A and B are shown apart, each in its own frame.
Chain A
């Protein structure tokens, strides 16, 4: 399966909102409500931020929200803070065999 499509970069000023898109197909993003988002700081392991399109794990600020429309999922970060500057990856369940996973190419979020 092909990687999901994310913009290479996104940016916003402190306090603003920024949305990162993640485009797939009807075989992955559009076919299932199993999109997740991960935050990764340089040299660190990824961290789960959103699962099942819009659910937040315990401890993730409610400034982070997820949504989906058709074959495109989105991560919105509201009230941007300097600490939100990181790489963000989307991921989706992608197969009928219950196991296939596909990641997006990643988006570098810069807080101006």
Chain B
């Protein structure tokens, strides 16, 4: 079965760092771009950017450039999204998704990030 499995929910304080993960299985993880998508509480989907696990090439949405960082470890078929200093406004659900062509055909279950003092 082709799937993406994300790490569990996180509760952090402002200023803390965080790294969440997205593990692929059932397909060639290094052959597809992985997207990260934010969904703030009660709001719509926002594309954050892509990473290509084959060579860790990254592309960021202008809205998220400099705010987050993507990385990948192809040896364990895992992509990461990280923050160096969280803000309350980072509170959201974060999804990873596989890009096939120009669509996102496989989605992770989501990781809920709560940032609160």
Contact = CB atoms under 8 A, between A and B. Distances in A.
Contacts of B37: 46
Nearest to B48: A101
Nearest to A105: B44
Contacts of B104: 36, 38, 46, 48, 91
Interface string A30-51: 0010101010000001111001
Contacts of A102: 47
A104 interface: yes
A3 interface: yes
Interface residues of B, number: 20
Interface string A83-101: 0000001010100010111
Contacts of A100: 61
Contacts of B97: 46
B103 interface: yes
A7 interface: no
Nearest to B49: A99
Most buried by A among B47, B95, B102, B109: B102
Q: Contact size class for A?
A: 20 to 34
A103 B102 contact: no
B110 A99 contact: no
B45 A48 contact: no
Given A48-B105, A52-B103, A101 B47 contact: yes
B101 A51 contact: yes
A101 B35 contact: yes
B47 A52 contact: no
Contact of B59 (A36, A46, A57, A99): A99
Nearest to B33: A99
A99 B107 contact: no
B54 interface: no
B46 interface: yes
A48 B104 CA distance: 7
Interface in A45-100: 45-48, 51-52, 57, 89, 91, 93, 97, 99-100
13 contacts: A34-B101, A34-B102, A36-B103, A46-B97, A47-B107, A48-B105, A51-B102, A51-B103, A52-B103, A99-B59, A103-B46, A106-B44, A106-B45
